[in-house]
Amino acid sequence: MREHKEFETILKQRTIGRLLLAGGLALALIVPQLTATPAQAEAVYDIKEMPRPDIPGLVISPDDPLQNLTARSAVVIDAASGQVIYERNKDERRFPASTTKIMTLILALEHSNMDDMVTVSSNAAGTEGSTLWLEAGEKIRMGDLLYGMMMHSGNDATVAVAEHIAGSVDKFAVTSQQTFDVLHFGTELFGENMPETVCSDILQLSNRNLPTLHGQEIAFSSFTDSEKNRQDWRILQRLYRTELLKNAFSCMSDSRLGRGQDSYEWLVIASLADTEVFHNEIIGYRYYLGRGITTFEPMSDQKFVSLSSNYGTLIRTASEYASTFSNFDLSPCIAELRRRLLEMLFGDWYVRLSDKDKLSVLAEMQKDFTRIEIATELMRLTRDDAYSRWVAGDSFNKNARYVHWKEIAETIAGDDLTPQYEEYRNQALRHFSDLRTRLPKPEQAPDPSSRNLAHLFSRIKTLFPSTRRNK
């Protein structure tokens, strides 16, 4: 009973987790809070009364103070100071034997709770060697399994613990050896005056569990057009190895980049990382969507132009880094970063600008983005708006904003078309065709923006001189 209490105290204090164990030792003599000198340690063993059996292959140095110790390798460590009090052949490779239970204990303390209920599998119940005689299907408290594992050397308890934490012994073995540069953890999101669809989309991306990523997979998963394998680029949703951050910071620009700078920072970090693991079941970040810069509040045209310039600087800074990076080609990541920042920019354009300002800022955007990029985003919004009208049950309206946006996009694009632009245009035209199949609703109200858009459309030709070639 006394031993049981002492062990429980050790577990709670995680004393054992502070030990540095030499790899591959067949025997480890663990002495918590031991402060004895080597001479005092010798007195613990009555060597004269412990005759050493004849063990084939066991060679003892004449200088070894523990002549009758039968272990081929051994170490005694002061848990408080880390001082090695006694060692024998500490660097020779040995089968770990029950020292694996110590590592299992450490991982169990780090990845589970003492009150977790563990269901014993048939595999665990059938484990050979020293055993607690566990039965398949039996439910046992994690703390009790750890007592049995450490005090009675229960192999079946050890397997049950490993399976509970990692799903299998093989996966647990990987976990015990796993080192990583980046740990991605989960987010709890609270939307404030934000549409539920926006919140759910962001939360899905933030808490997407991906398999362990290595090398260039880390950067490409963050800057890819694949929705299935995409991860977010939020800096605060990760833990980092110190050496990785030091290396990344030394490569980053010292300039203040403003909104969206985490995309650049994560690009640098991700390009230099070797391994990223995901444990989004661990919620470590609380995000209030709509409190800060992510909002639907109206924006002035001057502020929008400033934001456009901000994104342009961000893209140029990221491109400069990519041009000096030699481990692998980052140009696809830069292209995706540029596309997504422009998409975010037009999200603000769509929601936060007045109809008058919507058209007035387009020319200013040419300082940082090409005409076809601007036209492509306008055509994407044309497609989305036409589709939303179809879902709402409307019919085609020649004065609707999606009609004007299509005309504006075509004017800006001229003849310099891209496959992406053509795809959006064809999708928009299909939605137009679908809307025309419906009879106009007598009660259908005119689009309140149509008058302003029609009036301002004539300015586009001045802001964007024609690039159409004579046929």
Tokens of 216: 């260039």
Q: What are the Cα distances from residue 451, in Å, to 89, 235, 401, 420?
A: 88, 44, 9, 30
Q: Are 105 and 145 within 8 A, CB to CB?
A: no
Residue 135 carries which side chain, given as an amino acid letter? E
Q: Are residues 382 and 310 in the same domain?
A: no
Range of the domain at 135: 115-178
Residue 86, strand partner residues: 76
Q: Are residues 292 and 376 in the same domain?
A: no
Split at pLDDT 50, 70, 90, the class of 294 is low
Q: What is the pLDDT of residue 321?
A: 96
Q: Is residue 340 part of a domain?
A: no
Q: What is the pLDDT of residue 418?
A: 93
Query: pLDDT: is 7 or 442 the higher one?
Result: 442
Q: Judge whether residue 24 has pLDDT over 60.
A: no
Mean pLDDT of 332-342: 93
Q: What are the Cα distances from residue 199, in Å, to 188, 215, 285, 343, 371?
A: 11, 30, 15, 17, 31
Q: Is residue 40 part of a domain?
A: yes
Q: Are residues 379 and 286 in the same domain?
A: no
Split at pLDDT 50, 70, 90, the class of 149 is confident
Q: Are residues 197 and 326 in the same domain?
A: yes
Split at pLDDT 50, 70, 90, the class of 325 is very high
Q: Are residues 207 and 311 in the same domain?
A: yes
Q: Quote the CA–CA distance of 117 and 113 in Å, as a whole number.
A: 9
Q: Are residues 191 and 323 in the same domain?
A: yes
Count CB atoms within 10 A of the CB of residue 228: 7
Q: Quote the CA–CA distance of 178 and 20 in Å, as a whole number.
A: 17
Q: Judge whether residue 29 has pLDDT over 50.
A: no
Q: Is residue 364 part of a domain?
A: no
Q: What is the pLDDT of residue 218?
A: 93
Q: Is residue 108 part of a domain?
A: no
Binning the chain into helix, strand and coil, the percentages to the nearest 5 are 50, 10, 40
Q: What is the pLDDT of residue 375?
A: 94
Q: What is the pLDDT of residue 201?
A: 79
Q: Is residue 155 part of a domain?
A: yes
Q: Judge whether residue 31 has pLDDT over 70.
A: no
Q: Are residues 263 and 288 in the same domain?
A: yes
Q: Are residues 163 and 199 in the same domain?
A: no
Single pTM value for the model: 0.59
Q: What is the pLDDT of residue 141?
A: 92
Q: Judge whether residue 55 has pLDDT over 90.
A: no
Most confident of 124-128, 129-133, 383-387: 383-387
Q: What is the pLDDT of residue 306?
A: 93
Q: Judge whether residue 54 has pLDDT over 80.
A: no
Mean pLDDT of 430-441: 88
Mean pLDDT of 411-418: 87
Coil/strand/helix, residue 415: coil
Label the pairing between strands 117-119 and 182-191. unpaired
Q: Are 452 and 405 within 8 A, CB to CB?
A: no
Q: What is the pLDDT of residue 419?
A: 93
Mean pLDDT of 94-99: 74
Q: Are residues 252 and 195 in the same domain?
A: yes
Give per-residue pLDDT as tens, 264-276. 999 999 999 999 9
Q: Output the CA angle 107-108-111, nearest 5 degrees.
A: 80
Least confident of 16-20, 228-232, 249-253: 16-20
Final residue in a domain of this structure, among 178, 196, 231: 178
Final residue in a domain of this structure, among 178, 198, 230: 178
Q: Is residue 356 part of a domain?
A: no
Q: Are residues 290 and 217 in the same domain?
A: yes
Q: Are residues 305 and 207 in the same domain?
A: yes
Q: Quote the CA–CA distance of 169 and 150 in Å, as a whole number.
A: 18
Q: Is residue 350 part of a domain?
A: no
Total structural domains within the chain: 4
Mean pLDDT of 195-221: 84
Mean of all residue pLDDT scores within the chain: 78
Q: What is the pLDDT of residue 52?
A: 58
Query: pLDDT: is 395 or 72 the higher one?
Result: 395
Least confident of 171-180, 222-231, 366-375: 171-180
Q: Are residues 202 and 325 in the same domain?
A: yes
Mean pLDDT of 435-443: 77
Q: Is residue 468 part of a domain?
A: no
Q: Are 316 and 261 within 8 A, CB to CB?
A: no
Query: pLDDT: is 18 or 438 the higher one?
Result: 438
Q: Are 53 and 4 within 8 A, CB to CB?
A: no
Q: What is the pLDDT of residue 58?
A: 72
Q: What is the pLDDT of residue 44?
A: 45
Mean pLDDT of 308-324: 95
Final residue in a domain of this structure, among 158, 178, 198: 178
Q: What is the pLDDT of residue 153?
A: 85
Percent of the chain topping pLDDT 70: 77
Mean pLDDT of 351-356: 84
Q: What is the pLDDT of residue 220?
A: 93
Q: Judge whether residue 107 has pLDDT over 90.
A: no
Q: What is the pLDDT of residue 66?
A: 79
Q: Judge whether residue 70 has pLDDT over 70.
A: yes
Residue 214, strand partner residues: 275
Q: What are the Cα distances from residue 371, in Å, to 333, 362, 368?
A: 21, 9, 10
Percent of the chain topping pLDDT 90: 29
Q: What is the pLDDT of residue 225?
A: 66
